[in-house]
Amino acid sequence: MPQAFIPELAWFKVMLYVATQSSEDLFRMASVCPLFRTLANTPQVWNTISMAKYPDHPSWYHDNPAVQLFLQQCRACENPESIFREAFEVFFMQGNVEALYGMRIAATAGHMEAAYIVGLLGMSGIGQSKEDALEFLCSLNQRNNIDMKGTRDALRRRLSRVWNVARHIVDMFYMGRLSSIIAALVTTTNGVLLLKAGLLKQR
């Protein structure tokens, strides 16, 4: 029995790391022994588990109850990716600006795409003050090993899967309120953004 030689806390930290990398690897590990199964089902593990294997809307998995249960459990344990997905859909497809509250929760929990989009939206005066938005954007640059290009590319992929953007959001684009967001998604490479003379500029 592996737990006989290594403290349970050490195994728990291993489980947390595995959870962030692959849900499949986590479940394989959980099948090894009762201790691993117990640790794998703690709220902390579900809060950090990777959802990358199931990137689509929950309705796409209506024929797979196991996947639906997985997604529901992630949301119940406030997995940042699950919170962000829900807020992303409500904001872009329903045009509900209040969804930015969910994005902010995910961002505070360390979700990079959430922090990126909340910061950029705020720089356009949407959902928060520009000062708070700038703080969010600066915090991105303070994280170690941050992949800004990867974050932008991930957001592009999400947006490409949004079939019907809410009219409310479309109007924002036409009025130019989100022009800085588009520019930043396309051109920002180092994550260091400055607010100067009311414009978003790159350093």
Q: What is the pLDDT of residues 35-68, one digit of tens each?
A: 889 999 999 999 999 998 888 776 777 778 888 8
Residues paired with 202 in a beta bridge: 193
Q: Give CA separation, 75 vs 11, 46, 107, in Å.
A: 24, 9, 15
Is the pLDDT confidence value at 78 over 90? yes
**Token pair in block for residue 81:** 């990716």
Residues paired with 201 in a beta bridge: 194
CA angle 96, 101, 102 (to 5 degrees): 95
Cα–chain-centroid distance for residue 93?
Answer: 17
User: What does the pLDDT look like over 150-190, one tens digit per residue?
Assistant: 887 888 788 777 666 665 555 554 444 554 555 544 444 33
Is the pLDDT confidence value at 27 over 70? yes
Is the pLDDT confidence value at 101 over 80? yes
């290009």: which residue's tokens? Answer: 149
Is the pLDDT confidence value at 197 over 50? no
Greater pLDDT, 18 or 170: 18
Structure confidence at residue 25 as a pLDDT band (50, 70, 90): very high
**Coil, helix or strand at residue 111:** coil
Residues 6+ apart with CB under 8 A from 190: 141, 148, 202, 203
Radius of gyration of the chain from its Cα atoms, rounded to whole angstroms: 19
């022994």: which residue's tokens? Answer: 33
Could you give phi then psi for residue 3, rounded to 5 degrees? Answer: -70, -10
pTM score? 0.74
What pLDDT is stored for residue 6 in this prediction?
75
What pLDDT is stored for residue 160 in this prediction?
75
What pLDDT is stored for residue 195 in this prediction?
32
CB 123 within 8 A of CB 134: yes
Structure confidence at residue 121 as a pLDDT band (50, 70, 90): confident
The single-letter DSSP state of residue 50 is: -
Nearest of 93, 104, 173, 98 to residue 136 by alpha carbon: 104
